[in-house]
């Protein structure tokens, strides 16, 4: 048994387009607990990546802080303290400040920012107790320029950037790291309907970058915003 297989991860957004590739990659090495909202999505994920003794599902909506906390406590009871949080969950909607409805604004803040807060807050006691571990969040490379037309998305992902940096600072007295990946457009099935693969970031590259940040080699990288983008294009 490798050291990794004794380490447990909480993965949010594991049922999404990126999530499938990340869960496939990480469940080969780590014990993975995927937080899902719908049984159907969880079923589809296990069919896609294959059932494994290292892959487990827990049903909770990230908007429900108590449910997230209960799930994390359940992991501890089954596998001991968590090693890491891989927070992939997020949402996307277009719309300028003028066009964005309050409902859309609130949905984006919940899926991109509040969900990260509930997940990070739930795992922190276990990571602090172990004094070692990883928090990895997923932002967007488009956010840096604060473009118009994506108001709720840009503001919520910018908030996620700040949250990740704040928690990295709060963890400076531990061996727990926190980093955010700033992703370009991904080669997910919906994106591949509109763009060619060369214009998109391969999902396996993102999964490999996450695996690197989880590894012992990355133990001294914290508070970083790391672009994972399409290269070789102007
Ligand atoms: N796709 C891109 O080109 C792109 C580019 C830059 C950054 N990103 C970021 O990369 C991440 C993954 O993207 P993706 O394309 O894989 O997205 P996706 O296919 O839409 O998947 C989003 C995932 O987040 C989950 N989720 C959303 N809100 C949740 C909540 N309140 N509670 C629990 N789970 C929740 C969804 O669960 P359900 O299955 O229940 O809906 C789904 O598993 C996101 O954070 C996204 O913003 C994506």
Task: Return the best residue to mutate from 12, 13, 67, 185 for the ligand 1 pocket (most ligand atoms within 8 A of CB).
Answer: 13
Q: What is the mean pLDDT of the chain?
A: 96
Is the confidence at residue 143, as pLDDT, over 80?
yes
CA distance linking residue 187 with residue 62, whole number of Å: 25
CA distance linking residue 112 with residue 90, whole number of Å: 5
Q: pTM of the prediction?
A: 0.97
Cβ burial of 154 (10 Å; 0-12, 13-18, 19+) is: buried
Tokens representing 124 are 């922190």
Cβ burial of 119 (10 Å; 0-12, 13-18, 19+) is: buried
Q: By alpha-carbon position, which residue is closest to atom 31 of ligand 1?
A: 62
| pLDDT tier at 233, thresholds 50, 70, 90 | confident
**Dihedral sign, Cα of residue 169, residue 175, residue 176, residue 182:** positive
Q: Is the CB of 183 under 6 A from ligand 1?
A: yes
Q: Which domains does the chain have, with CATH numbers?
A: 4-228 (3.40.50.720)
Residue 53, SS3 per DSSP: coil
Residue 210 CA, ligand 1 centroid: distance in Å: 16
Q: What percent of the chain has pLDDT over 90?
A: 96
CA distance linking residue 151 with residue 192, whole number of Å: 24
| pLDDT tier at 174, thresholds 50, 70, 90 | very high
**Ligand 1 atom closest to residue 61's alpha carbon, by position in its atom list:** 32
Q: Is the CB of 188 under 6 A from ligand 1?
A: yes
Residue 159, SS3 per DSSP: helix
Is the confidence at residue 169, as pLDDT, over 80?
yes
Is the confidence at residue 62, as pLDDT, over 90?
yes
- The 8-class DSSP code of residue 195 comes to S
């Amino acid at each position: 048994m490798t050291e990794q297989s004794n380490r447990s991860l909480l993965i949010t957004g594991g049922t999404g387009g990126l999530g499938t590739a990340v869960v496939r990659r990480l469940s080969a090495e780590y014990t993975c607990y995927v937080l899902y909202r719908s049984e159907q999505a969880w079923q589809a994920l296990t069919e896609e990546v294959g059932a494994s003794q290292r892959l487990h599902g827990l049903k909770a909506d990230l908007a429900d802080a108590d449910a997230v906390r209960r799930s994390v406590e359940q992991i501890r009871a089954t596998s001991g303290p968590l090693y890491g949080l891989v927070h992939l969950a997020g949402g996307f909607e277009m719309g300028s400040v003028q066009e964005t409805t309050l409902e859309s604004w609130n949905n984006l803040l919940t899926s991109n920012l509040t969900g990260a807060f509930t997940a990070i807050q739930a795992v922190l006691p276990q990571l602090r107790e172990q004094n070692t571990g990883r928090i990895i969040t997923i932002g967007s490379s488009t956010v840096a320029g604060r473009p118009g037309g994506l108001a709720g998305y840009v503001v919520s992902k910018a908030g996620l950037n700040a949250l990740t940096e704040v928690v990295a600072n709060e963890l400076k007295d531990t061996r727990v790291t926190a980093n955010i990946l700033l992703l370009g457009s991904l080669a997910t099935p919906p994106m591949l309907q509109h763009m060619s693969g060369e214009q998109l970031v391969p999902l396996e590259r993102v999964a490999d970058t996450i695996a690197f940040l989880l590894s012992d080699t990355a133990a001294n990288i914290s508070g970083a915003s790391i672009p994972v983008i399409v290269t070789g294009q102007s």
